[in-house]
Amino acid sequence: MVNQIAANWDYGPDQAKAVAGVADHLRRFWSPPMFDEVARYIATGDADLSPIAERALTQLIEERQAAE
């Protein structure tokens, strides 16, 4: 799903803008348990994420960890 979100934000040369867009989208619409689940998925090392999706998720997971 997050790859699909990233694909829809991935337009033009400004990748940082796309990452911010994906991160904001996830922040606004994802429930906390879904972040926990995706964090576990990333931790397996087998996550098949697009670069934008991965950057956005990493940013959000760090954000959540900092807030805890």
Could you list the residues that contact another protein (CB under 8 A)? 1, 4-5, 7-8, 10-12, 25, 27-34
**Among residues 47, 63, 57, 43, which one has the least CA distance to residue 5?**
57
DSSP per-residue letters across 6-42 = HHHH--SS-HHHHHHHHHHHHHHH--HHHHHHHHHHH
Considering the complex, what minimum distance in angstroms separates the CB of residue 29 from another protein? 6
Considering the complex, what minimum distance in angstroms separates the CB of residue 64 from another protein? 10
Tokens of 52: 């934008």
Using the minimum distance from each CB to another protein, give the nearer residue, 7 or 42. 7
Considering the complex, what minimum distance in angstroms separates the CB of residue 66 from another protein? 16
